[in-house]
Amino acid sequence: MPDGSSARAPVLEVRGLRAGYGTAPDTIRDVSLSIEPGQIVGLVGESGCGKSTLAKVVLGLLRPREGDVLVDGRRWGDRSSRDPLRSCVQMVFQDPYASLNPKLTAAETVADSFRRWKGSSRRDALDEARRLLDRVGLPRTAIDARAERLSGGQCQRVGVARALACEPRLLVADEPTSSLDVSVQAQILNLLLELQEGMGMSMLLISHDLSVIRYMTSEAMVMSGGAVVEHGSTAAMLRQPRHPYTRTLVESIPGQVADWA
């Protein structure tokens, strides 16, 4: 970082990233983006466009082939569980049921994060977990219930709490509401907004729902075929999509023709 002060430095900076897997080494090409502290950046694109690959690289689960990924000004080291960057980037998953271990209770799931990062004792971690789960709006009765008994929205709150317990600087939210009912989706989106405003949390929000992107972000990028095809202010992009793919996307929002509101 040029000025050396990590407070003003972007939380995430990706420059000229190329990454992929054995058989498809170029799943993403030449991707650059940066996320400022407290900013939510939207990432749109259809399945297979490289969104998840980008998320994996940002999370340190996949090594880039080319380019730089700087989290809080630092590069991923050995990407093991001991990497100090491990707590800086956390993730909220798409499928709320699959993202929780069915054999653990909500509190136990979150307590694991506390024990890992604060070295709390088992009992303290559970207490802290219960307080945090209460704060993210999980009903008291659900806090000590096994994950298999929770509803989709409740699971997603637990997922958010598990990430928060690590006190991350950046939250990668991969389609966090696409498998939830609209009423629940609104609750989860509002919860994420509260985190951003209240805690200054930065977020990379992956979604294929442009109305979610419009509601949540002021800056967004569109990926197609592994490359960023459009990047800029969300409002402008939705008003005047420049790339043909973005245009198709905008036209595809169901209920766009609505004038009821």
Nearer to other proteins, 103 or 242 (CB): 103
Burial-class residue 64 by CB neighbours within 10 Å (0-12, 13-18, 19+): buried
Nearer to other proteins, 8 or 149 (CB): 149
Nearer to other proteins, 101 or 200 (CB): 101
Distance between CA 228 and CA 254 in Å, rounded? 24
Spell out, one character per residue from 139 to 158, where the chain touches other proteins: x when CB under 8 A holds, - when not. ---------x--xxxx----
Does 111 bind other proteins (CB under 8 A)? Our answer is no
Of the listed pieces 3-11, 21-29, 64-72, 211-219, which binds other proteins according to CB under 8 A?
Answer: 211-219
Spell out, one character per residue from 228 to 257, where the chain touches other proteins: x when CB under 8 A holds, - when not. --------------------xx-xxxxxxx
Nearest distance from C-beta of residue 15 to other proteins, angstroms: 23
* Binding positions for other proteins, 157-196, rule CB under 8 A: 159, 162-163, 165-166, 175, 178-179, 181-187, 189-190, 193
Exactly one of 66, 75, 199, 211 binds other proteins (CB under 8 A); that residue is 211
The number of residues that bind other proteins (CB under 8 A) is 71
Does 99 bind other proteins (CB under 8 A)? Our answer is yes
